[in-house]
Amino acid sequence: MPISKDIPGAGIFGCAGLALSDEERRFFAAVNPLGFILFARNIDHPAQVRRLVDDLRACIGRADAPVLIDQEGGRVQRLRPPHWRKAPPGTAFSQLADRAPDKAAEALRLNFRLIGRELAELGIDVDCAPVLDVPVPGAHDVIGDRAYGHTPPQVAALGQAVCDGLLDEGILPVIKHIPGHGRAMVDSHLALPVVQTGLAELEACDFAPFRTLADQPWAMTAHVVYTAIDDSAPATISATVIRDIIRTAIGFHGVLVSDDLSMQALGGDFAHRTAAALAAGCDVVLHCNGNMSEMQAVASALRPLTALACDRIARAAAQKRTPSDFDRVAAAAYVESLLA
């Protein structure tokens, strides 16, 4: 269990509720994880969220610890009305792009500036978006209307707009789910997807948006087996997929975080999942549900960040841009008018 105050542990954790318990404070202080992630169970009103974010950072003594959230819009958004704007799903922008690609990119960048400004006001600085998965006919709906299209060029172009909108507001985007979740026939939250598509087609379709956006600061792995590359392990715990595909063929050299270790696509206990993901080449592992016994098991196999991971995290942080003023009411109205 990492206890160094100089080098954080290679983990990101959730917490159980709206405020930290004493047990959580002691645990996080001892483990010193890289950062945290928030879910709907942690969200009530703006002042409460800001207080929780501040408390999370305070308990590990690092004001720059990353705090993540999934705020895509549509059915995947943790911040919801009445305190936060209801953002459209990815498919709304995909449909606009079919008619007017430039307008779709403009609307999406503005949409994520609006999201980014809401996150920044709460102290949240990493958004687990955009989804760069390219769904195929018959795939499970776990991606579904979260996708930005059904062709790699459109997904890449709209994904770039998402990243730019977030970075404009000083928020780091996380491209997901690398190297591609669009062919999954089952929900990786519940079971392990196995994709038997040939490598040439994967490279031309699934990997292409990630290759186009390989310069982005963070990426999240897919809990998916690609039999053409490694038929023995999903990408998250496959050294072959991470080395040969994510780092080499796709060319992503930013911060690589696992998808949630508590998803049922992964087997073995939590110590095993943690060790396997880090050994395979993930820079950081993610555990989301706030279950203390599971977090303790993850922490038992956690190691300090490697020097390379620390360098990637620093380079990612340097990609943030200085926000400029804009009329949020007018921007929201313009986005709505374009999508109407």
Active centre residues (catalytic)? 189, 259
Q: Which amino acid is at 74?
A: G
User: What gap in Å lies between CA 254 and CA 251, rounded to an integer?
Assistant: 9
pTM, rounded to two decimals = 0.96
In this structure, is residue 288 part of a structural domain? Answer: yes
Task: Report pLDDT for 3.
Answer: 56
Task: Report pLDDT for 59.
Answer: 97
In this structure, is residue 76 part of a structural domain? Answer: yes
In this structure, is residue 170 part of a structural domain? Answer: yes
**What's the domain range around 290?**
9-321
Backbone angles phi, psi at 216, to 5 degrees: -75, 160
Count of structural domains, the chain: 1
Task: Report pLDDT for 161.
Answer: 98
Q: Are 192 and 160 in contact (CB under 8 A)?
A: no
pLDDT in tens, the chain (340 residues): 555 678 999 999 999 999 999 999 999 999 999 999 999 999 999 999 999 999 999 999 999 999 999 999 999 999 999 999 999 999 999 999 999 999 999 999 999 999 999 999 999 999 999 999 999 988 888 899 999 999 999 999 999 999 999 999 999 999 999 999 999 888 888 899 999 999 999 999 999 999 999 999 999 999 999 999 999 999 999 999 999 999 999 999 999 999 999 998 899 999 999 999 999 999 999 999 999 999 999 999 999 999 999 999 999 999 999 999 999 999 999 999 999 9
Q: Are 50 and 72 in contact (CB under 8 A)?
A: no
Q: Are 48 and 121 in contact (CB under 8 A)?
A: no
User: What gap in Å lies between CA 178 and CA 94, rounded to an integer?
Assistant: 20
In this structure, is residue 329 part of a structural domain? Answer: no
In this structure, is residue 251 part of a structural domain? Answer: yes
In this structure, is residue 185 part of a structural domain? Answer: yes
In this structure, is residue 252 part of a structural domain? Answer: yes
Q: Are 124 and 69 in contact (CB under 8 A)?
A: yes
In this structure, is residue 100 part of a structural domain? Answer: yes
Structure tokens at 91: 């498919």
Task: Report pLDDT for 4.
Answer: 63
- Report the CATH number that the domain containing residue 280 is assigned in CATH: 3.20.20.300
User: What gap in Å lies between CA 35 and CA 5, rounded to an integer?
Assistant: 13
